[in-house]
Structure 1
Amino acid sequence: MPARPISLPAADVLDAAMRPGGLRAVFQPIIHLEDLRVVAHEGLMRPAHGRLTPLQLLDIARNAGRLGELETQAARTLVRAFDFDRGGRLLLNLSAHAILQGALRPQQIIESLQSAGRDLSRFVIEITERDIVEDVGRLADALGYLRAAGIRIALDDFGNGHSNFELWHELGPEYVKLDRYLIHEIAQSPGRLSIVRALVQVADSLGTDLIAEGVEHVQDLAIIQDLGIRYAQGYLLGRPAERATEAVPDDLRLASREKLPVWPRSGRRSSFPKVTAAHLLIEAPFITDDASNFDAEQLFRQHPDLQALPVVDGDQRPLGLINRRVFNERMAVPFARELLGRKPCIKLMHASPIMADVAQNIDAMSEILLGEDQRYLSDGFIITRDGRYAGVGTGEALVRRVTELRIEAARYANPLTLLPGNIPIAEHIARLIEAQQPFMAAYCDLNHFKPYNDQYGYFRGDRMIRLVASTLLRHAEPQWDFVGHVGGDDFVVLFQSDDWERRCRDMVGEFNAASLALFDESDRTRGVLEGEDRAGRYATFPLTTLTIGVAPASRGRFTTAEEVASQAAAAKRQAKRLNVGLHVLDADPGH
């Protein structure tokens, strides 16, 4: 029978870690992103024996009042093991808690680092904290002694834990390390991207260099480089190892900065994804299905602002709504009180009420406004929690919130296709121009779309416009090719893909074939639409097809987004005059 591992008391575990050889050192490289050079390493201590994680060991030391002692021992271990000739600067983790408690005195830290016999400017102290720092001023004073000796300061794990703007502003660190939470999969997260973009602006204004932690994907690295973050750390760039390294993976050098990445977008109608039905909930009385109309009348008197009275069964599951105006009109009819007063209230309720769960997003609830059942305007709607009555919402509040969200969203995304609108299109063109990145600006437009819209109506017209959007997206490379919706049947694709011409031809061919299903059989057979021309005369028109005009944007050719848009529109007009599916303007602006 195998022996069970012996669980040592916490004090013994800590004593074992403090002995010579009780800790081992590993180092993870930090990369300078402008030239993909290893410029520093973060030193990480590991218990040499047992199965404890570093955090578990730190917690044991903290509870024992020996955190400063353990961190000092870890720093000495890391300094002795680090190869300064090839590893660049060394970043060491020290807790604000231990410094503020006096367990780590500035002179003690300086003496520990001087034992390496290196210039103290080769060291960066990462301030970590798992609790709120209550006396930031005293911490800043203690770190001032380290700075006077040439040691630099970094703020660790910003964006998670207790690192915050107060610490950043008051400590004035040379570096701020953005937590893995903000960086991991940033290429797929519009929310993380927005936060990090804001932090880049803060860092620029405060003169701080950012270090992105947790970089594991090439797509994330491309976004970070594009944002102008100077340093990065993560498994993609190098895992913790016992020896410092000077090398960056060759495949990473090949993949880096080939093109400018397309920033992720939410694809939401709303800028407020966390607004739910719960935020519209009004606590209101309800009535059970066995109550009488006299009971309902009494509740309406007690609650003069109540538009409608919810009716529930014995399990408080909603059955219907009694509209106040309709109820009063029915009860005001001669002899109605005598005939209806003692009857069950369900006789005067609207069955099948409009309902929404508390967790339902406002975006999803906007579908209520598009439905044929417009009772929400007078009755409001019932809000449930786990299928049971929770409260009510008013149609006025829902309309107001949805309108606000759509107005805001329409500035940045087309409400029909959810593709980026004019502002994001201009922003992406400006990024490409500023980065001196060559690209192809494609203007996509439908031929003879107005006759189609006139004959089939706007509903079918919207289906055709959505077909354009889905076709463009399907053939664009999402990481590099930007697809935007200018408005109506006008779209823009900003290509960085080398095979952009093939993609354009595939777009035209696929749309022209798929759009035939949107015509009636008789029109498909004739191959034309009948209607009126712009002068009001009878005319026939070819079936609707897609045209793409392309303007090459070589490095340095354009200086503004307006110039690019003008040339792309000219290419589209030329394609229409030539009656071709794809036309490319001459790359020479003199032609």
Structure 2
Amino acid sequence: MNDSQRCHPTLSLPDKGQIQLTSQTPLPAHLLAQLETLLSWEVKQTVPLSLMADFKAREDLFQLAKLLQSHNPRLAGNHILIKLRKDQALNGSPPKTEPFQWWEEAQPLDVWLEKMEKESFLFLLQNEAVTFAAQPIYQLDAAHSTAELYGYELLMRPMGLAQRPDQLFALARTMDLHVALDALCRQKAIELSMHCLPGNVKRFINFLPTAIYNPEHCLRETFATIDRLKAPADLFVFEVVETEAVQNICHLQHIFDTCQQHGIQVALDDVCSGHNTLDMLIALQPHYAKLDRSVISHIDTEPHQQRLVSALVDLCATYNITLLAEGIESEEEWRCLKSLGVSLGQGYWLGRPQLLNPA
């Protein structure tokens, strides 16, 4: 896939047309009622069952897929087939007079649902249908009631899709579109944060290093967005997130260097999670190091975790790295981290993510 295809994927679904669903066995009555409501089908339970309806927008198909997915795999034994037909007058063309022609062969339900999952993701990319929730980050050197707000982490939320963000990125990888999704998320996070958040707080924005195969090229639009909004570059902290080990530290260092050349700070996520080791922390020397939740959980009752965090506080001070504790879920954890000298914290006890509303 070339750069243009990565950035401008296209949908293969028709904008409107007809859909036919056939089943060799009866469908559940409550599913039939939902189908009637969704696509105005007049449904009669027959065997074999054959339903046909118009759809006026791709969103109708996505809603149908979502409904059928909610009943899957209970429908697996029904031998359901689905096929689509393009609208004959699509794009203003005159209606065709030849016999009825289906656009595609009938597909089993599982195959069709898998296809629709990918098509709905492409629709999300084309329509930039992502928004963000912001979770506050506080300084830990004051009482909880007077803790000073330091910044927010921007957490992506897909609009209209059931997948979690990690599932969406996993799907994007299978389609070689994680580059486009990561770029879209950076752009939207910057734009929403400047519209919705206070002007003087840090914005922590996640990125996948594997999606930035060429930092100068892949980050060009990101830097242009910051310039277009006349936003101070030092408000932004680009945070590495990756579920697997970083394979190429030199490449990650190149990304960090490119960000810093544009005045953007960087953070290493999930420190002490297993693959983000202290050697990597020392080699990269980011502005921020975010402690993995596994180190924070019940730290107030675990002396070995306290010793580890205390050593990390000293190490980060040596390299001028600000330490941030993620996943603080109790007052006891907060008090312990504060006493150990951790500078920043976030977690449900301090504040839950809140959806940003640009209205």
Kept in 1, the 8 Å contact 2:272–2:278? The answer is no
Alignment of 1:74-93 (within 5 A): 74-82=185-193, 83-85=196-198, 88-93=201-206
- C-alpha displacement at 1:174, in angstroms? 0.5
CA-CA distance at 1:164 after TM superposition: 1.9
Residue of structure 2 in register with 1:48 after alignment: 159
CA distance in 2, matches of 1:109, 1:32: 28
Kindly indicate whether the alpha-carbon contact (under 8 Å) linking 1:42 and 1:91 is maintained by their aligned counterparts in 2. yes
Alignment of 1:212-251 (within 5 A): 212-243=325-356
Question: What percent identity do the matched residue pairs reach?
Answer: 25
Structure 2 equivalent of residue 143 of structure 1: 256
Question: Does residue 303 of structure 2 align to residue 190 of structure 1?
Answer: yes
Letter in 2 for 1:234: G
Equivalent position SS for 1:85: coil
**Secondary structure, in 3 states, of the residue corresponding to 2:205?**
strand
Question: Any residues of structure 2 matched to 1:409-488 within 5 Å, and which?
Answer: none
AA partner of residue 20 (structure 1): N
Asked whether the equivalents of residues 129 and 161 of structure 1 are also in contact (C-alpha less than 8 Å), the reply is no
**Is 1:70–2:204 an aligned residue pair?**
no
Matched residue, 2:130: 23
> Take 1:87 and 1:26, find their aligned partners in 2: how far apart are those partners?
18
Cα distance, 1:104 vs structure 2: 6.7
2:138 aligned partner, one-letter code: I
2:295 and 2:328 map into 1 onto residues whose CA distance is: 10
2: CA distance between counterparts of 1:69 and 1:241? Answer: 25
What does residue range 381-400 of structure 1 map to in structure 2 within 5 Å? none
1:5 aligns with 2:68: yes
* Distance in structure 1 (CA, Å) of the matches to 2:239 and 2:227: 17
Number of residues of Structure 1 aligned to a counterpart in Structure 2? 244
The answer to whether residue 220 in structure 2 is matched with residue 107 in structure 1 is yes
CA distance in 1: counterparts of 2:200 and 2:190, whole angstroms: 12
Equivalence map 1:152-551=2 (5 Å)? 152-160=265-273, 162-243=275-356
Aligned positions of 1:565-580 closer than 5 A: none
**Structure 2 residue corresponding to 1:131, chosen from 239, 244, 249:** 244
Q: 1:34 aligned to 141, 160, 168, which one?
A: 141
- Closer, same or farther: CA 66–102 of 1 in aligned 2, 3 Å: farther
Deviation track 1:147-192 (CA, whole Å, cap 9, x = no partner) reads 0111000001112152222331222100000011111211121222
In 2, are the aligned partners of 1:187 and 1:219 still within 8 Å (CA)?
Answer: yes
TM-aligned CA deviation for residue 199 of structure 1: 1.3
Q: CA deviation at 1:195?
A: 1.7
- Cα contact 2:215–2:255 (8 A) shared by 1: no
CA distance 1:20–1:103, change in 2 (3 Å): farther
Q: Deviations over 1:25-71 (max 9, x none)?
A: 11000001124111100001011112100100011112222112101
Q: CA deviation at 1:94?
A: 0.5
Report if aligned partners of 1:130, 1:161 keep a CA contact under 8 Å in 2.
no
Identify if the C-alpha distance between structure 1 residues 77 and 109 changes in structure 2 by more than 3 Å, giving closer, same or farther: closer
Deviations 1:341-368 (A, max 9, x none): xxxxxxxxxxxxxxxxxxxxxxxxxxxx
CA distance in 2 between counterparts of 1:109 and 1:88 reads 19
Mapped contact 1:203–1:209 kept (Cα < 8 A): yes
Q: What's the CA shift string for 1:86-115, capped at 9, x where partnerless? A: 561111000121124669723333223334
C-alpha distance in 1 between matches for 2:133 and 2:350? 15
- CA RMSD across the alignment: 2.1
Alpha carbons of structure 1 residues 203 and 125: separation in structure 2 relative to 1, 3 Å: same
CA deviation after TM superposition for structure 1 residue 24, in Å: 1.5
**Could you say which structure has the larger radius of gyration?**
1
| C-alpha contact 1:178 1:213 (8 A) present in aligned 2 | yes
* Shift, 1:18, TM fit: 1.1
The separation in 1 between residues aligned to 2:264 and 2:172, in whole angstroms, is: 25
Matched, 1:61 2:172: yes
Which structure is richer in relative contact order (CA contacts within 8 A, separation 6 or more)? Answer: 2
TM-score of the two chains, using structure 2 as the length reference: 0.63
Partner of 2:104: none
2:11 corresponds in structure 1 to none
Structure 2 runs not aligned, ≥5 long: 1-29, 35-66, 70-112
Residue in structure 1 matched with residue 234 of structure 2 by the alignment = 121
Distance in structure 1 (CA, Å) of the matches to 2:217 and 2:309:
32
Distance 1:59-1:113 versus aligned 2 partners, 3 A rule: farther
Residue in structure 2 matched with residue 327 of structure 1 by the alignment? none
Kindly indicate whether the alpha-carbon contact (under 8 Å) linking 2:200 and 2:235 is maintained by their aligned counterparts in 1.
no
**What secondary structure does 1:235 align onto?**
coil
